[in-house]
Structure 1
Amino acid sequence: MPTFTTSDGTEIYYTDWGAGKPVVLSHGWPLSSDAWAAVAKLLADAGYRVISHDRRGHGRSTNTDLGHDMDTYARDLAELVEHLDLTELVVIGHSTGGGEVVRYAAQHGKGRVRKVVTAGAVPPVMVQSETNPEGTPIEVFDGIRAGVLADRSQFYKDLAVSFYGFNREGAKVSQGLIDDFQRQGMLAGLVAAYNCVKVFSETDFTEDLKALDVPILIAHGGDDQIVPIAAAADKAIKLVSDGTLKVYEGAPHGVAGDYQDALVADILEFIAD
């Protein structure tokens, strides 16, 4: 099982598949690198070396109560990239992972990153405020924290329904996806899952987006109920200097099914030389 140890002693688990120019995948909350498994295989089959890591406190990485802030998450990613000595790198992040790769690329990726891709990503900032009226009210995130504390096993099963859009009329419900969301969520430490809510909801990525000096593909589901597009991709695309916005009409937050197939095709087109 490949792991490396960060500068503060945290062990980070990762997978490393395929050969070719490197791609790093960062997962969303409260999941693990397993959320990217199918996409990672498809990218590896297309001729890329694909690395997926479990964020600290999540999956098979150290169940630590320390370092749950976006600067540390981005530093962990930077240290993994340096450990593997990756260059000509594409970084791809979903949801919280989208914020992670944006901050990493802006603050650590100079000379290593060639392109960035986000999907259903949290930047610029999720929480509602006077300057971000389209954002999600803080009470929603308070409710997530309460659910994690009260009965996170059931909470994750319930959350998976809107995550994958299974509450929409005509949706084909996959109990397997719901169960796997719960499985991955339960691998995250309680403190990590709880504290990461503040990280993904309140971190402001505005300056990171402005600082990006490489092309970015901003992908978002048009029916994303977790990270609504109006406060996320619609704003992020206006802040970057070299961005492409791709909206998947009717697609949910979770990357699966037809949405996954379309996203992979667009990623491969975007990252091709």
Structure 2
Amino acid sequence: MPFITNRNSKEEVDLFYEDYGEGQPVILIHGWPLSRKSWEQQVWKIVESGYRCISYDRRGFGTSSAAWTGYDYSTLTSDLNEIIIQLDLKNVVLVGFSMGGGEVVRYFTEYGSTRIDKAVLISSIIPLVKQKDDNPSGVPERDLDGIITALQNDRVGFLKDFSKGFYNFDELSKVSRISQAQLDYDFMIASFASPQATIEAAKAWMHTDFRDELKNVNVPTLIVHGKADQTVPIETSANQAAKGIKNATYIKIDNAPHGLNVTHPDELNKVLLNFLNS
């Protein structure tokens, strides 16, 4: 199985990745608390459209090794950079879903755009999840603290119900957009992840403020967000990101939840491929 080792972080980690197709490389960065497997409905479409598609498991998730430390965004982004450097990728399109948007933006801050052609933020947490005086639409800190407490006390119990809100299950299951089997699949993936990684990565996406870093994203950028996202409020994420990133195309998908890559794959894939081909 293919692994790339990052020896430049405090704890050495082995990152599992899948690499399919030929052409311009597209790197898919998954959300929390899942793995590369969440991109199932995008990988085949990207490859069949003539691109090289690389998806990887964040440290502590999926098949990658689980370090005890290194779940801050700078270290996570060093993992992404090792993939780009060791595979000698150029003209890359970075695609970040939810938490993965943080690695996308931090990459421009720390490594620049020499190897990057375009960027995509899907249901992204960028630029800030937490409610502050100057971010009133964010999630109250007491609610974020409640998630951490739940993960510490009964991680699998919390994860069992998490996907319902992730996919707006009660509503979209009635119109065959999402199945109970998908929720069960996500639970298996999420529960398999390192408990330490699950908690520490959550702290990263909860508390990291990327607002001052948006100006560093200096390539054409696609921002896609569901209008019905109950997990990452659109007002504190995509609406702000679209204003802060200079060369951004902003697409909102009607009735789409946070996990729109699963519930609305045709709509997302059409928008994504149009952007890749532009």
Counterpart amino acid of residue 120 in structure 1: S
Which residue of structure 1 lines up, in the alignment, with residue 249 of structure 2?
Answer: 244
Classify 1:150/1:61 alpha carbon distance in 2 versus 1 (closer, same or farther; 3 Å): same
Matches within 5 A, 1:201-240: 201-240=206-245
Which 5+ residue runs of structure 2 have no aligned equivalent?
Answer: none
1:84 paired to 2:87: yes
Give the Å deviation of 1:109.
4.0
Query: What CA deviation, in whole Å up to 9, does each residue of 1:174-221 have, x standing for no partner?
Result: 111101111111121001101111100111111221111101001000
Checking the alignment, whether the CA contact within 8 Å between 1:43 and 1:268 is kept in structure 2 is yes
Q: Give the aligned CA root-mean-square deviation in angstroms.
A: 1.4
Q: Distance in 2 between matches of 1:22 and 1:253?
A: 25
1:186 paired to 2:213: no
Task: Identify the range of structure 1 (138-147 vs 63-72) with the bigger mean alpha-carbon deviation.
Answer: 138-147
Checking the alignment, whether the CA contact within 8 Å between 1:92 and 1:98 is kept in structure 2 is yes
Give the Å deviation of 1:272.
1.1
Which residue of structure 2 lines up, in the alignment, with residue 28 of structure 1?
Answer: 31
1:4 paired to 2:9: no
**Count of residue pairs brought into register by the alignment:** 273
Checking the alignment, whether the CA contact within 8 Å between 1:126 and 1:136 is kept in structure 2 is yes
The TM-score, its normalising length taken from structure 1, stands at: 0.96
Which residue of structure 2 lines up, in the alignment, with residue 45 of structure 1?
Answer: 48
Which residue of structure 2 lines up, in the alignment, with residue 157 of structure 1?
Answer: 160
Counterpart amino acid of residue 23 in structure 2: G
Which 5+ residue runs of structure 1 have no aligned equivalent?
Answer: none
Q: Distance in 1 between matches of 2:41 and 2:105?
A: 22
Which residue of structure 2 lines up, in the alignment, with residue 105 of structure 1?
Answer: 108
1:96 paired to 2:99: yes
Give the Å deviation of 1:79.
1.1
SS in 1 for 2:169: coil
1:70 corresponds to which of 64, 68, 73: 73
Q: Distance in 1 between matches of 2:261 and 2:159?
A: 17
Q: Distance in 2 between matches of 1:106 and 1:179?
A: 37
Checking the alignment, whether the CA contact within 8 Å between 2:261 and 2:268 is kept in structure 1 is no
Classify 1:94/1:246 alpha carbon distance in 2 versus 1 (closer, same or farther; 3 Å): same
Q: Distance in 2 between matches of 1:28 and 1:233?
A: 15
Classify 1:119/1:189 alpha carbon distance in 2 versus 1 (closer, same or farther; 3 Å): same
Checking the alignment, whether the CA contact within 8 Å between 2:25 and 2:52 is kept in structure 1 is yes
Query: What CA deviation, in whole Å up to 9, does each residue of 1:89-142 have, x standing for no partner?
Result: 101010000121121134324211110001110011100011111100112211
Classify 1:109/1:14 alpha carbon distance in 2 versus 1 (closer, same or farther; 3 Å): farther
The TM-score, its normalising length taken from structure 2, stands at: 0.94
